[in-house]
């Protein structure tokens, strides 16, 4: 009597795996965007992030909002006593102080924009590396299952690689009748039947801003989620709006 384990069979739900992958892409987008928004706040001087502001040019507690409040207050005082030399000097002082602050803010926002732009370049290399990792694992799954009939650990590693990729860019996946994997980045096919058939490349526009593009067609990808999309949205949206 007794029992014997013949084999361990792993049951995976493709829909659940895809849902997890999609959720990770959205979550990473929000995390990266929030992190850079805090850096933008620090540049405005409204929230002090000591890790992103050097000690050589401290904002202290004086932000743009405080500068505007101080200037309007001095105008009110001057309107109540328009002949006062002291009140006039206070207006001039507060106006100059706010101007200096705005110049500092614009420079720091410009530096942040450049930093994010450089990060965009770096992330493009990461996307290609993750695509290659997924393709390698997918091929290993196919080869192992032909010989051994199961490749549970490799499938787990492949799913982890897909989730890592999705944290960078939004992806979709399909499998053919033989179970071979195809991966699409924003609708552009990068892996076909377990083989890496495409990649992404750097595209720099006339303003020097970096974007991610299909290496074959040169088409800039209109990403929907992931850290790369977050970088673009903060760089070209929030920060540019603040500078304008």
- Domain spans of the chain, in order of start: 14-243
* Banded model confidence at residue 91, pLDDT cuts 50, 70, 90: confident
Secondary structure E strands in 79-209: 171-175, 181-185, 188-192, 195-196, 200-204
- Mean pLDDT over the full length of the chain: 85
How much is the pLDDT for 37? 92
| Alpha-carbon separation of residue 39 from 181, 191, 228 (angstroms) | 39, 36, 17
* Banded model confidence at residue 58, pLDDT cuts 50, 70, 90: very low
Counting runs of H as helices and runs of E as strands, what totals does the chain give? Answer: 6, 6
Q: Is the pLDDT of residue 103 over 90?
A: no
How much is the pLDDT for 199? 98
> Distance between CA 21 and CA 165 in Å, rounded?
9
């Amino acid at each position: 009597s007794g029992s014997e384990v013949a084999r361990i069979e792993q049951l995976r739900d493709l829909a659940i795996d895809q849902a997890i992958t999609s959720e990770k892409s959205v979550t990473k987008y929000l995390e990266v965007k929030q992190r850079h928004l805090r850096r933008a706040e620090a540049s405005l001087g409204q929230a002090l992030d000591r890790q992103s502001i050097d000690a050589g040019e401290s904002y202290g507690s004086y932000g743009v909002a405080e500068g505007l409040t101080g200037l309007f207050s001095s105008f009110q005082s001057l309107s109540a006593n328009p002949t006062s030399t002291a009140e006039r000097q206070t207006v001039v002082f507060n106006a100059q102080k706010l101007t200096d602050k705005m110049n500092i803010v614009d420079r720091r926002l410009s530096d942040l924009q450049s930093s994010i732009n450089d990060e965009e370049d770096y992330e493009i290399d990461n996307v290609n590396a993750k695509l290659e990792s997924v393709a390698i694992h997918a091929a290993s799954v196919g080869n192992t299952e032909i010989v051994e009939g199961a490749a549970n650990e490799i499938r787990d590693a492949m799913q982890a690689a897909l989730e890592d990729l999705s944290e960078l860019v939004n992806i979709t996946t399909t499998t053919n009748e033989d179970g071979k994997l195809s991966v699409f980045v924003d609708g552009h096919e990068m892996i076909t039947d377990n083989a890496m058939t495409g990649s992404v490349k750097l595209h720099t526009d006339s303003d020097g801003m970096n974007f991610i593009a299909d290496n074959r067609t040169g088409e800039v990808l209109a990403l929907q989620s992931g850290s790369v999309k977050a970088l673009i949205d903060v760089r070209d949206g929030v920060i540019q709006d603040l500078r304008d």
